[in-house]
Amino acid sequence: MLKTPAPVDLRQAYIDARAGGAVQPDEIAAALGVSEGALLDAHVGAPAGALQAQRLRPDFGRLLSELSRAGELLAQTGHAHSVQECVGVYERLGDAMPPSHEFSPARGDEIDLRPRLACWAQGYAVREAGPRGEVQSLQFFDAAGRAVHKVFAQPATQQACWQALRVRWIDALVPAPCWQPHAPAEVPAPAIDAAAWRAAWAGLRDAQQLDTLLLRHGLRRLDALRLAAPQFAQRVDDDAARMLLSAAAASGTPLLALVSSAGGVQARSGCVASVGVERGWLQVMAPRFRLALREAAIAEAWAVRRPGADGVVSSLELYAADGEPILRLLGQRKPGEPERWAWRDLIDAQVDDPIWREEATSCAA
């Protein structure tokens, strides 16, 4: 269990950090030596002021299934190195999703959320005063206090439904959490026959089967890329994401961006309107969408190909120094449709090795 400062001290420290210009709650928490969840929980029962939080009843699958009633909301998923925000409606969620469900998707036209609810440990209804008025949200954390997903009210939100949902799910009897330390262990790559692994990859008939292969072989995704044949995975420059996203914005090539947290994945398909840099973050913008990427955290970037029934599927994948995924970028396509050549050209432009280009035709066959 993590030992944290007294709530009143954390509240004052948060106020001081905000006054000093700090913006991101996770960065403030890190500077204070606590998890973001612990910092927010310290504001449970706080008097009216800058930040207030109330604990939620922990039946998060059912709570998510009710969000569609509130209409338009902002969905935010991410981690310390990348964050994705999409504005839309939480659609196509089942009415009964017990907390034990590992993977329960909400795939609407704009919000595509694929939560692993077994990792969702604590939730809060949050109010925070800001320069543009009060910001209301629902925020969810894993057992270590890492944010897994956040939901923000918007000007077009059905306010009566939103307020009723908050009141219905707030539960003053939910006890304070006992946060568990997050200490990721060093995971050595298992001994594996590289030739057999490469043959298995080349034999894929469905691009989604790669995840199944990883589980079967006990491989992390990054380790699998390092073992893959050069026609299927190539290390590229760390600035490849900036180059690719800028080119996609200029050409109008639609893409699929996947950002994960400790408790799931959020995806967004569509075109990119602009790419810029702000406070050390690469900012990727489109109507009702924002992707923020901390380029300094990229330790490895890879161009990847997966064979499938619809042809090759190409992606750019970014990883942090600890091997955890930061961001995956793919071309937008529907099941049964081949990948756009415009997207494949953007990926190919990031790779210098001639083997990659020489093998392109045979990979797609």
pLDDT at 106: 52
d(CA 286, CA 328): 17
Q: What is the pLDDT of residues 155-172, one digit of tens each?
A: 999 999 999 999 999 999
Range of lowest pLDDT (18-32, 237-251, 304-318): 18-32
pLDDT at 208 over 80: no
Secondary structure of residue 77 in the 3-state scheme: strand
Range of lowest pLDDT (7-11, 12-16, 92-96, 272-276): 92-96
- Mean pLDDT for 205-220 is 84
- Mean pLDDT for 315-333 is 95
pLDDT at 235: 97
Q: What percent of the chain has pLDDT over 70?
A: 90
Contact between residue 52 and residue 46 where contact means Cβ atoms under 8 Å apart: yes
- Mean pLDDT for 224-245 is 95
pLDDT at 335 over 90: no
Token pair listed for 74: 């902002």
Token pair listed for 246: 């800028």
CB neighbour class for 90 (10 Å; exposed up to 12, middle 13-18, buried from 19):
buried
pLDDT at 216: 84
Residues 6+ apart with CB under 8 A from 158: 69, 70, 71, 72
How many helices (H) and strands (E) are present in the chain, helices listed first? 12, 17
- Long-range pairs for 192-199 at CB < 8 Å and ≥24 separation? 192/217, 192/219, 192/227, 194/227, 197/224, 197/227, 197/228, 198/227, 198/228, 198/229, 198/232
- Mean pLDDT for 233-254 is 97
Largest CA distance in the chain: 66
Residues 6+ apart with CB under 8 A from 223: 189, 323
Token pair listed for 309: 């029934």
DSSP state, 234? E
pLDDT at 261 over 90: yes
- Mean pLDDT for 9-20 is 89
Q: What is the pLDDT of residues 76-130, one digit of tens each?
A: 999 999 999 999 999 866 544 444 444 445 555 789 999 999 999 999 999 998 7
Secondary structure of residue 224 in the 3-state scheme: helix
The larger pLDDT score, comparing residue 259 to residue 203, is at 259
Round the average pLDDT of the chain to a whole number and report it: 89
Catalogue all structural domains in the chain, each as residue range(s) with its CATH number: 7-169 (3.40.1570.10), 194-364 (3.40.1570.10)
DSSP string, 81-139: SEEEEEEE---S--S---TT-S---EE-SS-EEEE-GGG--EEEEEEEEETTEEEEEEE
Place of tokens 């080119």: 247
Reported as a pLDDT band with limits 50, 70 and 90, residue 137 is: very high
d(CA 293, CA 289): 13
* Entry pTM: 0.91
DSSP state, 52? E
Reported as a pLDDT band with limits 50, 70 and 90, residue 186 is: low
Contact between residue 5 and residue 34 where contact means Cβ atoms under 8 Å apart: yes
Contact between residue 86 and residue 72 where contact means Cβ atoms under 8 Å apart: no
DSSP string, 325-341: EEEEEEE---TTSPPPH
